[in-house]
Amino acid sequence: MKKTNNRPLILVTNDDGIYAPGLKTLIEVAEKLGDVVAIAPDEGRSGMSHAITIKYPLRIKKLKEEGGTQFYSCSGTPADCVKIAINQIMDRKPDLLLSGINHGSNSSISVVYSGTMAAAIEGGLHAIPSIGLSVTDYSSKPDFSGAVLYGERIIKHTILDGLPPGVCLNVNFPKLSVDEIRGIKVCRQARGLWIEEFDKRTDPHRRDYYWLTGYFENYEPDAEDTDEWALKNNYVSVVPVRIDFSDLNAMEKLRSGYAKART
C-alpha cells in the first residue's frame, strides 16, 4: 500500500487468526488513526512465540480491500506475517505495528511464549514502533470496550511520541467493562512461572498422548509495580519490552570473574 496522505501507515496482525474478533476490533481502532494493512495467520497460531517457517513455503492470499484497508491471510506464524508484509506486500515500512487484540493474557512470563508479542518484537527488530495488545479473557467474545478506549489512547501516544529504539509495548487489559477499569499503569513484568501439568491419556489404539495443562504462579503477588498487580487491581498494564536480551550487570560480573581466572 502506498501512502497517499499524511495519515500513518499501520500494519495490523495477530496470532488468533484472520477471523478473530480481537483482530477485527483492533483494525477498527487503527482505521481511525491511519491507513491499514492487515495480515494474520489463516488459522490460530497461539503459543508460537517467535517461530518462523523455513521447512515449507509460505502462502499469502488477499482476501479483500474494504474502505482502503487491505486484508491478507498467511499460512505461517505471526512473525512470518510481519516479515512477509514488510518484504512483499507493503511499498514502504509501516509507521506503526499493532498485534492483537489477543484473546487471553500475555502478562508476566507469557510474553516469552506469545505469538502476539512475537509479532510486536519482530516489528521492533525492524525499527517500527510496535504494540502487542491482549485482554485477559479467553472467551471467543470478550468485552473489548476497555481495550478500545484505552488502547486508542496508548496507540495515539505512541504515534505522537514514538518509542525508544529496541523497545516495544506489551499492553494487557483486565477482564472488565470500560467503566470498571481504573486507568493505565506503566509497570514491569512480574516474576512468575507457568506450572505445567500434562494430562496423560490413551487413544483407541492404546497409544499414549498428552494435553498440556497447568496454572500460573506469581512469585511476587504483593509487588505493586508489576503487570500482574495492575491487572488484578483493575488497571491496564503497559510494559516496555526490550528487544536486546543482554544483561549488562551479568556482563560486568562475568568479565570480572574471567579476568581473575586468568591471573
103 lies in a domain? yes
Q: Tell me how many domains the chain contains.
A: 1
Q: Which of 77, 70, 56, 71 is nearest to 14 (CA)?
A: 77
Between CA 259 and CA 253 the distance in angstroms is 10
Q: Where are the beta strands (DSSP E) in 144-203?
A: 167-173, 183-186, 192-202
1 lies in a domain? no
CATH number at residue 37: 3.40.1210.10
**What pTM was estimated for this model as a whole?**
0.93
What pLDDT is stored for residue 257 in this prediction? 87
10-residue mean pLDDT series, the chain (263 residues): 73 97 97 97 93 96 93 98 97 96 96 97 97 94 95 98 96 96 98 93 96 93 97 98 91 87 70
248 lies in a domain? yes
197 lies in a domain? no
What pLDDT is stored for residue 4 in this prediction? 53
Q: Which domain holds residue 47?
A: 9-190+220-262
> Which strand (E) or helix (H) includes residue 28?
helix 21-33
For β-strands 167-173 and 235-242, DSSP reports them as antiparallel
For β-strands 96-103 and 183-186, DSSP reports them as unpaired
What pLDDT is stored for residue 140 in this prediction? 83
Q: Which of 83, 127, 244, 109 is nearest to 170 (CA)?
A: 109
135 lies in a domain? yes
- Give backbone dihedrals phi and psi of 25, rounded to 5 degrees, phi first: -65, -45
What pLDDT is stored for residue 6 in this prediction? 83
Place of cell 509497570: 187
196 lies in a domain? no
